[in-house]
Structure 1
């Protein structure tokens, strides 16, 4: 039995390479590409592994790209469960320009996904024997075409029925529809927090009031609002607190949000108080910004930043 399950409906095979300069209408000579498994929940599982934990990554897998995702995750020692799809899993491309250090990220749309495919995730979760029900389920990332916006809401209904804690990190209508009974933790940014409150945008002066409104309306038991380099704001029935990380050398923000979620769920599993949970999450997210390209957090960086946050709380 796995205590943590991550769910990724729109996984991606992330391909990255380097080139001297990106120019139009020129044949660009690229370096040998690097392939990595990607997509919200998959990256959370990978970061959990880097932090010394274990999880099972559930994802939709189609075609050679889906096969490659499974092989790469197996090589990292991550347990997986997959639903085979008719259409190929997507592939993203990241190109770094060596002369400037600029990154060009090309995100491809997900494949058309059919009801009999995405429903398998819900059905498997719903019918897990009591002894195999996880303590935490993390639903992270975007939804591909064909998956309804209420998918996370359906997960929340199962969480309420099966009594596991559901953590959701998504955006748009899927996030708004998911909020409610059965959701333990939501991790929006400020724009997504505004959407949860039915607003187009919010100011820094409003963010605390609106976060508590979301909590008091029962849309989530815990709210961790990502504030980018300024860390995170924690909102719960106990009130509001902030975790502001130290200034670190920034190499890439790719994977910072997924690393933060990994740190949060790892600490929750240990039974840590909420303030410490979010501190460790912020430490992992900040650690990810210190690594190049799409590399996730490193444990030694995470522990060092967490120690600093504990000393400066």
Structure 2
């Protein structure tokens, strides 16, 4: 295996993830929760955590503010993730998940982050430029904090491409709409889940052909060189100009879906950074996501769990 290329993850709207469980979620009475679990959260944060847990190395550049931001930094340090904290004016947000023991259903609540300022945006862009290295992988994952400029993601992509970095994007909402609707230079890899794909295409992704056609259209329009679309428990589809694959996921017992998409991006990026082929990298992504849903809260998977799922994944050329 060749030496790993550098990986930088960028999280513009991180969170401290709080998870607990109750005997049953019932409206009205006070619910007595179990002792909570705290994990560092947010797209790029979880991508870097996944890379670390799978035996790779990544640097996590994170916008943090206030006591909750410091708690996030401390949680990352406990997992030995190399963190590049960028202090911003808004307090870091929290996300909250409650599992109903009676049904196994998980209820997820995301608290919005405090708005950031133009000065925060400038500070973040300066630090991102300083830490982006030549021929590296730059992962932009998660939502964009309120108050940051609408073209924040585009500016990061432009800076990364000046250094010939391969940009991996996994985002949502307006940032995703902007990337899809107004492509300039194609990013290296775009990962989009089934619901986001259906919303962007304005029709459901009922079939494998729907997902493949949607991804192929994005590649043809210059949105990304490689597009990966999720199909839930069925697996994920990869489309580039000359390759089309589906990786069928193994059957697993789902405990928590939190962080599964981020684990996918982390595992796939790590495989690519180590020189894997596209189909093998896709397989690692599906394996890591499948392993992660078997873990509690935002624990993510470890290498042994991901390897076990990798051995059960099946790649099929389309």
Match 2:50 to one of 47, 50, 60 = 47
Match 1:283 to one of 278, 287, 299 = 287
Change (3 A) 1:49 1:267: same
- 1:146 is matched with 147
Deviation at 1:286, TM superposition (A): 0.8
| Distance (Å, rounded) in 2 between the aligned partners of 1:141 and 1:229 | 21
- C-alpha contact 1:2 1:56 (8 A) present in aligned 2: no
Match 1:90 to one of 86, 89, 93 = 93
Give 5+ residue unaligned stretches, structure 2: none
| Distance (Å, rounded) in 2 between the aligned partners of 1:212 and 1:241 | 12
Change (3 A) 1:127 1:290: closer
2:172 aligned with 1:171: yes
- 1:102 is matched with 105
- C-alpha contact 1:189 1:227 (8 A) present in aligned 2: yes
- 1:262 is matched with 266
| Distance (Å, rounded) in 2 between the aligned partners of 1:156 and 1:24 | 45
| Distance (Å, rounded) in 2 between the aligned partners of 1:196 and 1:150 | 19
Q: Which has the higher contact order (CA 8 A, sep 6+)?
A: 2
- 2:276 is matched with 272
| Distance (Å, rounded) in 2 between the aligned partners of 1:284 and 1:215 | 25
SS at match of 2:91: coil
Give 5+ residue unaligned stretches, structure 1: none
Which moves more between the two structures, 36-45 or 151-160? 151-160
CA RMSD of aligned residues (A): 2.2
Which moves more between the two structures, 44-53 or 78-87? 78-87
Deviation at 1:120, TM superposition (A): 2.0
- 1:185 is matched with 189
Cα distance per residue 1:3-50 (max 9 Å; x no partner): 111111111111122222333342322222221111111011111111
TM-score by length of 2: 0.90
- 1:73 is matched with 76
- Tell me the number of residue pairs that the alignment of Structure 1 and Structure 2 aligns: 310
Deviation at 1:150, TM superposition (A): 2.1
SS at match of 1:268: helix
Change (3 A) 1:164 1:239: same
- 1:12 is matched with 15
Deviation at 1:231, TM superposition (A): 0.7
Aligned residue runs from structure 1 range 197-236, under 5 A: 199=202, 201-204=204-207, 205-236=209-240
- 2:303 is matched with 299
Cα distance per residue 1:158-208 (max 9 Å; x no partner): 1221110010000122113234315100001234335555x4545534332
